[in-house]
């Protein structure tokens, strides 16, 4: 499918100029009648303060530290023109650092080798079987949802794909799913640390991904990033970003979303309207459902650490070790259960569902005009506070879609079932005590099957109401086979299996992993808890 990103390089300099111009103009507009330098002084002071603090603490680039220190000393003495030029110079630097690059040759190469490469990665037993590997891959990664509709919407407007995020493999498998579903490639912002990864860094640098340095917290950088993503959407580049911001550490379905980039979609829609461009923008929530998560051990450790925030950017997890990725891929290929990438119902930028013809629909299914949300007394009105409130509402709609489009897999089902039985057995223990003390607990298989049947029945009823999705492997098989499937899966990849089978019982081996996988069901636990039998639990 043709995509605007194929033409990216031709427009790159123009895009850069537009972003720099807009960012600098926005600060210029902050000038007060008595103080024409206010906007520029603030932004430079803010950037210098944050950068000096960061570089001093990290003992990073001494040259850059000295540069920021020199600037910080000069700001108070700079003339308005000097302040303007300095802000512009710094903005230019950041824009060039952020902006991606698209090379069609690399894309052609990637689109021919990615399926085969991923297929080979996921089936190292026979590297020569490139094409058949691809077939095997599509039998191991299921892509589902309203794909035909999305293809049509991609032709009539701009897609902003917003997936859940649980692994650094997400962008790769999602890229494959776009290709596999004949959807256009998207530009997306990736953590700058990933560009250093030998496996994907080269492709990311040449396939339109833009660099997001999450260490930079100052207004100038954030505005550059936000403006760049907005300009891309405005210009019709299909985009992708992870509203969770970073990989979910706990294993739960993300519900707290970062709204900055979601606001870019709305701002782009508004800007387009003001220019008379009526092409629609569609948000596409996607859930990526892994039976096993590559970085599960590191992520859950991080979640449980009191100082989790300190390791916001993990640079030394399983994703940085090629051997672990290969091992993961081989093991996932051997699973009975498939990985599921589920595209949800597309939404407009206000969170309303979109019909087959691209029109926004109200709750009763009536077509509505999204442009009306930006009007007052028949005229478009600029109102940032209103748009911020709209964005919060859209965030809630995406979070709700994440729940209804989540596909529950056997590993998550068994993780929740066993960990809940542990909670039941020791209600007086807090989470950390449970995690410390439950390794080795035995769960009688007959009791477990009874609880599992009830839990499954409840989930089936919830799935029938559209509140979540259940993987077919969880629905159709006898419950003891579901348990076996999950136990086998747990045993295949992780350094230590979460649970093992011993005669007529399942034995907990790694409670943290059980907790991690079970957390996928935590959003519904108030309803699920009552189905577990009273007195259920592991025996020690």
Q: Nearest Cα to 99, choosing from 215, 11, 158? A: 11
* 369 lies in the site for another protein, by CB under 8 A: yes
Out of 106, 326, 368, 531, the only residue in the binding site for another protein (CB under 8 A) is 368
Q: Concatenated DSSP letters for 11-71?
A: HHHHHHHHHHHHHHHHHHTT--SS-TTHHHHHHHHHHHHHHHHHHHHHT--HHHHHHHHHH
Out of 66, 156, 375, 495, the only residue in the binding site for another protein (CB under 8 A) is 375
Asked if 352 and 360 count as a contact pair (C-beta separation under 8 A), the reply is yes
Cβ 374 to another protein, closest distance in Å? 8
Out of 94, 269, 350, 413, the only residue in the binding site for another protein (CB under 8 A) is 350
What 120-129 contacts at long range (C-beta under 8 Å, 24+ apart), as own/partner pairs, is 121/325, 121/326, 121/329, 122/329, 122/330, 122/332, 122/333, 123/330, 123/333, 124/326, 124/329, 124/330, 125/330
Token pair in block for residue 531? 């189905």
Out of 88, 142, 392, 458, the only residue in the binding site for another protein (CB under 8 A) is 392
The residue range among 87-95, 330-338, 379-387, 457-465 that interacts with another protein, by the rule CB under 8 A, is 379-387
Q: Nearest Cα to 243, choosing from 380, 399, 38? A: 399
Out of 323, 363, 427, 535, the only residue in the binding site for another protein (CB under 8 A) is 363
Give 219's contacts (C-beta < 8 A, 6+ positions apart): 42, 43, 46, 47
Cβ 395 to another protein, closest distance in Å? 12
Beta bridge partners of 240: 161, 188
Out of 128, 306, 385, 464, the only residue in the binding site for another protein (CB under 8 A) is 385
* 188 lies in the site for another protein, by CB under 8 A: no
The residue range among 210-218, 330-338, 389-397, 483-491 that interacts with another protein, by the rule CB under 8 A, is 389-397
Place of tokens 């970062």: 258
Q: What is the DSSP letter of 347?
A: B
* 376 lies in the site for another protein, by CB under 8 A: yes
Dihedrals phi, psi of 60, to nearest 5 degrees: -85, -145
* 373 lies in the site for another protein, by CB under 8 A: yes
The residue range among 106-114, 161-169, 206-214, 366-374 that interacts with another protein, by the rule CB under 8 A, is 366-374
Out of 163, 191, 370, 415, the only residue in the binding site for another protein (CB under 8 A) is 370
Cβ 355 to another protein, closest distance in Å? 13
The residue range among 46-54, 80-88, 295-303, 359-367 that interacts with another protein, by the rule CB under 8 A, is 359-367
In the bound state with another protein, the residue whose beta carbon lies nearer, of 92 and 527, is 527
Q: Which residues bind another protein (CB under 8 A)?
A: 350, 352, 360, 362-364, 366, 368-377, 383, 385-386, 389-390, 392-393, 526
């Amino acid at each position: 499918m043709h995509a605007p990103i194929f033409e990216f390089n031709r427009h790159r300099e123009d895009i850069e100029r537009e972003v720099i111009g807009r960012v600098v103009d926005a600060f210029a507009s902050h000038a007060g009648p008595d103080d024409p330098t206010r906007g520029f002084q603030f932004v430079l002071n803010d950037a210098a303060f944050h950068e000096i603090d960061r570089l001093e603490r990290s003992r990073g680039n001494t040259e850059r530290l000295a540069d920021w220190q020199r600037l910080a000393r000069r700001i108070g003495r700079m003339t308005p023109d000097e302040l303007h030029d300095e802000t512009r110079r710094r903005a230019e630097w950041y824009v060039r650092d952020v902006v991606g690059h698209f090379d069609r040759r690399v894309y052609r190469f990637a689109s021919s080798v990615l399926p085969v490469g991923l297929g080979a990665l996921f089936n190292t037993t026979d590297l020569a079987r490139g094409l058949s590997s691809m077939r095997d891959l599509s039998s191991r990664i299921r892509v589902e949802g309203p794909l035909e509709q999305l293809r049509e919407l991609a032709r009539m407007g701009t897609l902003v794909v917003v997936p859940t995020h649980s692994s650094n493999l997400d962008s790769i498998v999602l890229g494959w799913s776009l290709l596999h579903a004949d959807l256009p490639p998207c530009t997306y912002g990736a953590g700058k640390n990933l560009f250093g990864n030998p496996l994907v860094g080269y492709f990311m640098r040449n396939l339109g991904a833009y660099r997001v340095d999450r260490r930079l917290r100052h207004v100038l950088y954030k505005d550059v990033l936000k403006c760049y993503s907005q300009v891309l959407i405005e210009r019709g580049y299909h985009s992708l970003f992870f509203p969770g911001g970073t990989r979910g550490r706990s294993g739960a379905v993300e519900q707290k979303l970062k709204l900055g980039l979601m606001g870019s979609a709305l701002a782009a829609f508004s800007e387009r309207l003001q220019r008379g461009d009526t092409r629609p923008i569609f948000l596409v929530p996607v859930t990526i459902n892994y039976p096993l998560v590559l970085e599960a051990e590191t992520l859950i450790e991080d979640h449980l650490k009191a100082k989790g925030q300190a390791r916001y950017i993990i640079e030394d997890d399983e994703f940085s070790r090629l051997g672990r990725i290969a091992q993961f891929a081989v093991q996932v290929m051997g699973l009975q259960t498939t990985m599921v990438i589920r595209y949800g119902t597309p939404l407009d930028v206000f969170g309303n569902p979109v019909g087959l013809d691209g029109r926004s629909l109200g709750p009763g299914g009536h077509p509505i005009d999204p442009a009306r949300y930006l009007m007052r007394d028949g005229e478009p009105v600029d109102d940032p506070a209103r748009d911020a409130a709209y964005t919060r509402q859209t965030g809630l709609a995406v979070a709700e879609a994440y729940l209804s489009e989540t596909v529950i897999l056997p590993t998550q089902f068994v993780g929740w079932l066993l960990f809940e039985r542990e909670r039941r057995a020791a209600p007086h223990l807090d989470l950390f005590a449970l995690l410390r003390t439950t390794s080795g607990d035995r769960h009688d298989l007959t009791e477990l099957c009874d609880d599992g049947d009830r839990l499954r029945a409840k989930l089936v009823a919830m799935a029938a109401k559209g509140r979540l999705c259940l993987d077919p492997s969880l629905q159709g098989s006898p419950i003891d086979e579901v348990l076996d499937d999950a136990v086998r899966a747990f045993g295949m990849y992780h350094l230590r299996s979460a649970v093992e089978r011993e005669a007529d019982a399942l034995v907990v081996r790694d409670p943290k992993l059980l907790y991690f996988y079970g957390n996928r069901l935590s959003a519904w636990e108030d309803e699920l808890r009552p189905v577990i039998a009273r007195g259920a639990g592991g025996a020690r």
